Amino acid sequence: MDFRSSEHDGSEQHGGAAVRGPRTEDVLPETAKTAVKVVIVGGFGVGKTTFVGSVSEIRPLTTEETMTQAGVGVDDTSGVDGKTSTTVAMDFGRISINHELVLYLFGTPGQERFWFLWRGLFEGALGAVVLVDTRRLEVSFDVLGRLEERRVPFVVAVNTFPDAPTYPVEELRTALDLHPTVPIVPCDARDRGSSRDVLMTLMRYLQTLATTQEAS
């Protein structure tokens, strides 16, 4: 599958005047029959914006703002001291899984003070990807709890930061108090193929849940 985005900005020349329109890259293929909403969640600084940006076949929408003194004492930046910007609303991208199925990706802000936005972002979502950082597993606990409260199916993607420790899957499952059926997969959020594999894992998991519900 070719994920390259067109650089065409939607302008066409008519009699010397530019006519604005949708970018070629933003137009859904005519064969698309199903569009699914997926949310990308996790604690502060775990790689959500990077994930959406790496896998999106369109130029992603981001709401990154420079971190200021206003966040000092409010946002927990321990372990991500070099981070200079943060998502304040959402990230948005799109990926075509095949000619008929398209995923709309919504990345959520990680700071607790922006969690009031979650209700709207989760409305209509079929499932979620939870990005975790093994250097700071504790920032994922509240996120996982909120997903379970909302009964949103999810998979856990362990973002492989260069200096992050590695643990056996079952140790991570115990530490995060996850149900035995919830998939845990490694992920390099910078890599398009790796991020796409995570989304495919989520799709397969959702299909398994649907099949189980139909059989019961």
**Spans of all domains in the chain:** 31-215
Side-chain half-sphere of 62: how many Cα atoms within 13 Å? 17
pTM of the complete model:
0.76
According to the model, what pLDDT value does residue 71 have? Answer: 45
151 CB-side CA count, 13 A: 1
Pairing of β 127-132 and β 154-159: parallel
What pLDDT does 4 receive?
34
Question: For the structural domain made of 31-215, what CATH number should be given?
Answer: 3.40.50.300
57 DSSP assignment: S
Q: Please tell me the distance from the alpha carbon of residue 23 to that of residue 37, in angstroms, as a whole number.
A: 21
Q: Which long-range contacts (CB under 8 A, 24 or more apart) does 76-79 make?
A: 76/44, 76/139, 77/44, 77/45, 78/136, 79/45, 79/133, 79/135, 79/136
Distance CA 202, CA 134 (A): 20
Count of H helices and E strands in the chain? Answer: 5, 10
pLDDT at 23: 55
Site of tokens 């009699």: 15
Per-residue confidence of the chain (216 residues) as pLDDT tens digits?
A: 333 333 344 444 444 444 455 555 556 667 778 899 999 999 888 999 999 999 999 988 876 555 444 444 444 555 545 544 554 457 899 999 888 899 999 998 855 655 556 666 788 999 999 999 999 999 999 899 989 988 999 999 999 999 999 999 999 999 999 999 999 999 999 999 999 999 999 999 999 999 998 887
